[in-house]
Amino acid sequence: MKIQNLSFFLLLLLFWGCREPFEPEIEARDLNVLVVEGYLDSEGLSSNLRLSFTSNIQDEFNFNPSALGATVYLESSSGARYSLLERGEGIYEFQHDIPENETYQLRIFLNDGTSYTSSDLKPVITPEIIDVGFEQNEAGVEVFLTTKGNPDADDFLWTYEETWAFRPPIISFDKYDPELKRIIPRPAEERIDLCYRSALNSDLILETSSRFQDQFVFRQSIKQINRGDERLSLRYSILISQKALSKDAVEFWEILKKNTDDLGSIFSPLPSNIRGNIKQDQNPDVPVIGQVSLGKVQQKRLFIDIREVAPWRPEVPEYAGCFLSADTVLVANYDAVFRSEINIPALPIYLENAIEPIGYRYSTPRCVDCTRRGTNIRPDFWEE
């Protein structure tokens, strides 16, 4: 019986090993389709337009290649032109205070000679954010906002950028100087004990204010930070942008949100059946994915300090297994242990009443140097 089972198992392996992988045919027109994504602020706030191309969903790295070297500008009905500056990786920056009583078209000229034009754009004036706040719950901390729509601004899109301060599990204020062959205080610009990280939202938050009484959107959930998240280990900031959408833009963002919910991120591959308000000039039937919106963006920033949510114990997988050495490296052995920078001096060891340490205990850069995961340059907007 065992021999029969073994034979069946081997035949099954042979069957699966001989099967050819299924590779569905993808029409060429679904590849290298221009993707346009952006909400341009009409009152001078820096905003970005992203240009890229769709790629084969079977590509190994699964990303949309950027559209580089394009000429992009916003043209008003009176003929004025407002250029977008290329910032690299398919990002084009718009920073102009434009008249909001005119209509506009976005013009895109790619370096292969093709050009694209948007439908007429009328700036949408976004109402102010009334309030932002946070509340602790069983799962962690929820960040929310309150706003109010009006007949001209009913549908909202919210995006955000997070920044948080953090420390490595093992703190070091010193470094080994191979020329002096001694350990010296680390200069302020080289500090590795305090860093900052930033992240853009990877999901889409949409809401229609007319679903609520008096179009009052109360405590709209923006971000849930779960217990143990490093974001709240020291100090956290979130900059929320509120953008009112025109009626023709709502459908595009709802389809994109469904794609986001299905695939997990706004940076996931886009299906080629998403359309928007951009068309190719040479052939309007050529598919283009994307939606450009124009209007006043409202922003509010919120800070949360560890003292406001304590106790909060961060769990950072990157720091798993970090420890301080049990042995002390004596002065005579500094060069042998610290010159290669495989080990970083962390804790000075003193004899009783001594002024100079007799040696240092140490750890690895992964556990000591926060610049491996962030920057030690404090953001300009940061408040203590």
Task: Find how far residue 192's CA is from the centre of its chain.
Answer: 23
DSSP lists the bridge partners of residue 348 as 360
pLDDT in tens, 31-43: 688 999 999 999 9
Residue ranges per structural domain of the chain: 28-124+249-296, 323-363
Report which DSSP code applies to 203: S
Q: What is the model's pLDDT at position 204? A: 86
Q: Which residues pair with 97 in a beta bridge?
A: 43
Only one residue has tokens 């043209």, namely 75
Q: pLDDT tens across 265-309, in order?
A: 444 445 555 678 999 999 999 999 888 999 999 999 999 999 999
Q: Is the pLDDT of residue 100 over 50?
A: yes
Segment 136-159 shows an average pLDDT of 96
- pLDDT computed for residue 231 by the predictor: 98
Mean pLDDT of 358-380: 97
Q: What is the per-residue pLDDT across 43-82, written as a single tens digit (0 to 9) for each?
A: 999 999 999 998 654 444 445 688 999 999 999 999 999 9
pLDDT tens for 11-21 read: 433 333 433 43
| CB 73 within 8 Å of CB 40 | no
Looking at residues 112-134, what average pLDDT do you find? Answer: 96
pLDDT at 270: 52
Two tokens at 256? 């994109």
d(C-alpha 16, C-alpha 201), whole Å: 41
pLDDT score recorded for residue 104? 98
Instruction: Give exposure, 355-372, as e/b (b: 16+ Cβ within 10 Å).
Output: eebebbbbbbebbbbbbe
Q: Which amino acid is at 135?
A: E
Q: How confident is the model at residue 261 (pLDDT cuts 50, 70, 90)?
A: low
Whole-number average pLDDT of the chain: 88
Sequence-separated (6 or more) residues with CB below 8 Å from residue 283: none
Question: Over the Cα atoms of the chain, what is R_g?
Answer: 28
Place of tokens 């850069």: 365
pLDDT digits (tens, 9 = 90+) for 371-383: 999 999 999 999 9
Task: Write the DSSP assignment of 178-196 as a string of letters.
Answer: TTTTEEEEPPGGG--S-EE
Residue 93 backbone dihedrals phi, psi, to 5 degrees: -90, 135
